[in-house]
Structure 1
Amino acid sequence: MRGRMFATGGGMALLLAACASTPLSHYYSLAGQDAPAPALAASQMEYKAGSGQAYGLQLQVRSIPADVDRSQIVVRDPAHAPAVDVLNQSIWSAPLDQQVQRVLATGLATRLGVVDVQRLPTAPGMLVRSMDVRITQFDLIWGQGAYLSAVWTDQGMTGKPAQVCQAAVQSKAPVGVANLVNAQKRNLAALVSLMADPTASPVGGLPDDTQVNHIGCT
């Protein structure tokens, strides 16, 4: 019995030593605290489509760059370009494309004062505004910051012509994974503003360390 306990104790000691030597994983999210979804009645009162009807927003992120589409956070090192660092202990809390879609859809629906149809059902007969988004750049760069580029197609609603827009934004950040993730959050917030109104100048509403490199629609 004592020998058995000794063996068990030795095994536990080895297990604890192994655990102590294994680096802990840290999880990161692009989402801040979720804004409350606008109520259907409120959206009907606050925002009207051209036909006089309220509408719902359906936003879909169709693609993100393949080299960052993984659970580990990928950071670029200017000193070793084009190589990238895959941070095995720095993990996204959810698939990256799903996080980007939720941030954009929730932020834009809240900004426009309409219903995000992926979170709330629409009323019978309500128009739906469809937007397809492709993230073309999603870079976190050591010692520089975060870079984000996107192309989106605003299908509008029935009878409205589609509009294709593209934008590029960047935010500075000191060294550190959390700092880079926070910089990308600021980029996504800026992108929401540009998608809400591509013709408006967002400069006055952006943090000092965030800037729009390009915005245009056809």
Structure 2
Amino acid sequence: MKQLPRTLLGALALSLLVAGCATSTPDRYYTLAAPADAVPVPAATPVFIELAPVAVPERLARPQMLVQRVGGGAEVAVLEQHRWSASFENELRDALAAGIASRLGAIDVTKGGRQPSQPAWRIAVQLQRFDAIEATRVDAAFSWTVRRSDSERSATCQWAGSEPVGQGIDALALGAQRATSQAAQAIARQVSALQADPAAACRGAG
């Protein structure tokens, strides 16, 4: 059998490589931060918040999106090519911080920038549930504790909700974004109530 010239073999290998690259699906990245939450409107009196790292279930502590298939029972799909822009717990903390700050007109000083004489609202959030069900809905449940840095009094609250979604991973990501924004609104509502009345009852649920 006659051997093919090396130049022809090289051309064939290159064409196969290009074809393989053309058919591969590029990675896609998503954010939990809603665009409207990006820039807070400053409050008349400076308000500072400190948001601790969000405690999330270990199965969610990854950049890949986790999706439950309809009719898939207990099976969960880890989507390697559909990822959050950071590890899920970091993405969630940043989105919540932006959402709370935006609604309160507050400054997030979690990473510094606050003088010791300036009190801040310290917020610790725990994610109880975050289930993305393909072409159906996103179910989420949060609990949190709020305490002012110059006080020993703390308040605990929780929120749970469900966001309907349409077909596709983009729709799931937007549903997750809306659920996160709703949680941020609930936390901000409680902080606002505590600003007015330090003994205010939980106003985040619902």
Q: CA deviation at 1:88?
A: 2.3
Kept after mapping to 1: 8 A contact 2:119/2:148: no
> Higher strand proportion, which one?
1
Mapping of residues 171-210 of structure 1, within 5 Å: 171-198=163-190
After superposition, the Cα gap between the structure-2 partners of 1:124 and 1:162, relative to the gap in structure 1 and judged at 3 Å, is closer
Q: Which amino acid letter does the alignment assign opposite residue 146 of structure 1?
A: V
Structure 1: which 5+ runs fail to align? 48-53, 201-213
| Residue 134 (1) aligns with residue 136 (2) | no
User: 2:166 matched to 1:163?
Assistant: no
Q: Deviations over 1:5-56 (max 9, x none)?
A: 4343222112112223323322222123362255xxx54xx13xxxxxx442
Equivalent residues in 2 for 1:29-108, closer than 5 Å: 29-33=31-35, 35-37=38-40, 42-43=42-43, 46-47=44-45, 54-108=46-100
Compared CA separation, residues 124 and 156, structure 1 to 2 (3 A)? closer
Matched, 1:154 2:146: yes
Offset at residue 121 of structure 1 (A): 1.4
For structure 2, the 5+ residue unaligned runs are 193-203
Q: C-alpha displacement at 1:163, in angstroms?
A: 1.1
Shift of 1:193: 1.4
State the AA in 1 paired with 2:38: A
Q: Which amino acid aligns with 1:116?
A: D
* More off after superposition, 130-139 vs 190-199: 190-199
Instruction: Specify whether residues 118 and 37 from structure 1 end up closer, same or farther in structure 2 by C-alpha distance, changes over 3 A only.
Output: farther
* Contact preservation (8 Å) 1:115, 1:122: no
Residues 61, 100 of structure 1: 8 Å contact kept: no
Q: Distance in 2 between matches of 1:66 and 1:58?
A: 23
- Residues 146-167 of structure 1: CA distance to partner in whole angstroms, max 9, x if unpaired? 1111111112232241111111
Deviations 1:92-151 (A, max 9, x none): 221111111011111111211221103671245211221111111111112321111111
Matched letter for residue 35 of structure 1: A
Paired position in structure 1 for 2:205: 215
Tell me, in whole angstroms, the C-alpha distance in 2 between the residues paired with 1:167 and 1:36: 24
List per-residue Cα deviations over 1:158-183 (Å, max 9, x = no partner): 22411111110111111211111111
Task: Output the TM-score relative to the length of structure 2.
Answer: 0.81
Query: In 2, are the aligned partners of 1:61 and 1:135 still within 8 Å (CA)?
Result: no
One of 84, 102, 109 as aligned partner of 1:110: 102
Aligned residue pairs, count: 191
Report the 3-state secondary structure (helix = DSSP H, G, I; strand = E; otherwise coil) of the residue aligned with 1:143: coil
